[in-house]
Structure 1
Amino acid sequence: MPLLKLEDTYLHKGKRRALVAELRQKGIKDEKVLHAINTLPRHFFFDSALVSHAYEDKAFPIGEGQTISQPYTVAFQSELLDVKPGNKILEIGTGSGYQATILHLLGGEVYTIEYQQKLFEGTKKFLARMGIHDLHLFYGDGSQGLAKYGPYDRILVTAGAPIVPESLIKQLKAGGILVIPVGDRNSQKMLKITKKANGSYNTEEFDSFAFVPLLGKEGWR
């Protein structure tokens, strides 16, 4: 569970500034993304046993076989997503809620869905304790999206998929962007898919990453 006492000290803020400088050095250029990462206390999302590692550029376990993504990965995906204020965003894989909160800070109206029920319930309670009430949280099979509330301007997948789920393409608005890691269970290429007005789409391929698997009907079974 995350820390029971949420304190953001000068030390934490200094570590965040150092992390942002590291991300900038690694190639992240979007100042809005860097500002969001500098604003949000990442250590709030950590188990007390790991909190001293919160500002290392690494992924860490959060239970139920899931992780809180490496800050560089969060920044890279957020930068590719190119969030505009007011965008309706679907996030697949709520996890700790950290990435969803970053998208919220970027001005998105965020709908996020988690496959693991225990993790979903814990994260929902934690975000409420943090005073974050503007996220729309759901439990279910994110590989099939969340059609009831679509279509979406942006869709972000935070788990490795074997293919691009057709359901997600269908739920993307014309001109919308889907960012998704696709590959095998060990390594995936980051894809940015932009949907055209005629329903076709353009795919750009970026670096390799390693995510936990996307589980569900249109993911790994």
Structure 2
Amino acid sequence: MLITLDFWAVLAEWPLLLKGIAWTLGLTAVSAVLGLIVGIACAWARNDGPPWLGWPAAAYVELLRNTPFIVQLFFIFFGLPAIGVRLSPEVASIIAMAVNLGAYAGEIVRAGIASTPRGQIEAGLSLALSRVQTFRHVLLPQALRKVWPSLVSQMIIVMLGSAVCGHISTEDRQHPRAAQILWRERGVQGHRRVSDAQRGHRPHQQERHGQEHLAALRQRAGNLPG
């Protein structure tokens, strides 16, 4: 018996799907802005910042890039309350997405800065610009133009990963309620049919075992001396 999914049941709940899409785009937009700011700050700290900022920035980047996003999300939402910091699911999701994107964006922006000719820095310093001004007005604009496609790709990856935020009750396009819609029609019917088939098969199986047991008893009784 072939069971198929009824996608028309999903389309029938289009208001819920639109709400989920709006939540996803909103979470992604806010976290993308914050993550880009964090990434630029990390790139500056590792390239031109003081050593006491460079090492923590490097540790942050390596830690966030080598741990799963769901672990970071659970740590923020479930771990911070242990020290008295309680966040709503939406705020925790935005923070987790932003810090995750910031770690990757920092390396992407740093690669763009490294590809900028050294003469650009020397030209900025020769115009009496400070190192911060040189970074802001000379290096950063050129670096962002070079790595913008990579940044957009990383933002899309973060958007796709936002489905994990549904585990802490954040509404997004893949919230568990969408799964309930998907399986409401054919999924329930399929489960019911399988259950009915199992219930119908069980009595026949028990009857067969009973007949085999009775035959064994009769054979054993026939072998006994009279």
Q: Which structure would you say has the larger Rg?
A: 2
Range into which the TM-score falls when normalised by the shorter chain: under 0.3
Greater fraction helix: 2
With CA pairs under 8 Å and 6+ residues apart, which has the higher RCO, 1 or 2? 2
User: With structure 2 as the length reference, what TM-score do the two structures score?
Assistant: 0.19
Determine which structure has the larger strand proportion and give its number. 1
